[in-house]
Amino acid sequence: MTKRQSKKTVKTHNGLVIAVADAGNGDNDVIIGGDRTLLPSVCARTDGDTLGFSSDIERKVTYFDWKGRRYMAGDDVLATLPNAIENHLGKNRYGNDLQQRLLAYTLALGGVGAKGPQHVDLTLLAPPGLFTELKPQIVERFRAAGPVEIHMKGEPEPRRWQYDSIQVLPEGITAAFALAFDRRGLPTQTKDLNGLTLMVDCGMYTMNVIAMLDGAADMENLHLATTADAGLDKRIRQPLLKLVHGIDPNFAVANAHHVDAAMRDPDHILRVGVYETDLSQALAAYGEEYAGWIANFIDSHFSGGAGFSKILLIGGGAYLIADPMREWFGDKIIQSKIEPNWLNAEGAYRLRLAKLAAQR
């Protein structure tokens, strides 16, 4: 379930909370002062009213107030209001009110503003193929919104902070910095980025494939890095949903968010009301098919990986393709100690620390 809000003291850097948000279609992966907070990227309006019954009769929900309206977010939405979901979808989502709202709630869950107003140094990510177009849009929208105020359930006063600095970086490329720097922002002397490295970032709707030479990307051709309709939705989620609908009439109401929850579940159990089914075998099969499609993509676009010394798998679906990719590409697949879904956020966070240290 969604993490409950924290009132702990958030680590700061010269008075600033260093925050990085990898806001995907599936999850908000956010690093706050070095600590990680994950929130499924869904939201819904709610009134938060209660009938006054005991907790064993009436379900209690966690909500927050934002700009005069009340919302739930994350797993609470799927469990309570599955038919009223507001999705974090499409190109317009970058920098819009939904992204700002989900980010503010995630930051609050991580403790920002719990001990009084704070100043936040914020880094956001965008797909490399849309980076040039989206970067000014994101910055402009966040700045136009002004200081943040969010009222968490059960707290007497709203939490407040402002974004003193807003950076936008391209996904995929930032993952390389998770290898190049440690968590203090110091160089690691890694050899994984020596020579030609392919960064394969599997998102929900797109796939980013970026070639890097000695840790440097070709920024002139960044717009070519993103392939639409090549992500987890088309290759895994939609086939799974079709499969689920055919299992039993009780699963006919299952939607993509139920499948998302099953993919996040350690045992890959799909839950729809009181009904459950195990999707682990199906996930493994569709993951292998997707890995084969990616291998063919590399064959046709990058000469089968010839000349590339390493391949880094990035994103929440990387665990589904890692084993078959290792069978085909062997030790070219980088064995990172960082979970693939956190590589982009970790890289952006470590790069930000390195840059701030250089400014001293």
Mind listing the pLDDT tens digit for each residue in 96-110? 999 999 999 999 999
Higher pLDDT, 343 or 92: 343
pLDDT reading at 171 higher than 70: yes
Domain boundaries defined on the chain: 16-170, 189-339
pLDDT for the residue numbered 3: 53
CATH of domain 16-170: 3.30.420.40
- Over pLDDT 70: what percentage of the chain? 91
Higher pLDDT, 186 or 256: 186
The CATH architecture annotation of domain 189-339 reads: 2-Layer Sandwich (3.30)
pLDDT reading at 19 higher than 90: yes
Q: Do domains 16-170 and 189-339 have the same CATH topology?
A: yes
pLDDT for the residue numbered 202: 93
Top mean pLDDT of 47-51, 92-96, 337-341 is at 337-341
Tell me what the mean pLDDT of segment 212-218 comes to.
Answer: 91
Tell me what the mean pLDDT of segment 332-344 comes to.
Answer: 95
pLDDT reading at 160 higher than 70: yes
C-alpha closest to that of 335 among 179, 180, 168: 179
Question: Of the ranges 2-6, 158-162, 274-278, 341-345, which one carries the lowest mean pLDDT score?
Answer: 2-6
pLDDT reading at 279 higher than 90: yes
Q: Which long-range contacts does 355-360 make (Cβ < 8 Å, 24+ apart)?
A: 355/185, 356/13, 356/14, 356/18, 356/121, 356/185, 357/185
For the chain, the straight-line distance linking the first and the last C-alpha, in angstroms and rounded, comes to 41
Nearest-5° angle of CA 213, CA 215, CA 221?
Answer: 60
* Prediction pTM value: 0.91
Tell me what the mean pLDDT of segment 188-196 comes to.
Answer: 94
pLDDT, one tens digit per residue, over 116-147 is 999 999 999 999 988 999 999 999 999 999 99
pLDDT for the residue numbered 51: 37
pLDDT reading at 55 higher than 60: no
pLDDT, one tens digit per residue, over 300-337 is 888 766 788 999 999 988 999 999 999 999 999 999 99
The confidence band for 93, taking pLDDT boundaries of 50, 70 and 90, is: confident
Q: Rounded mean pLDDT of the chain?
A: 90
Tell me what the mean pLDDT of segment 206-227 comes to.
Answer: 89
pLDDT, one tens digit per residue, over 238-269 is 999 999 999 999 999 998 888 988 998 999 99
- Over pLDDT 90: what percentage of the chain? 71
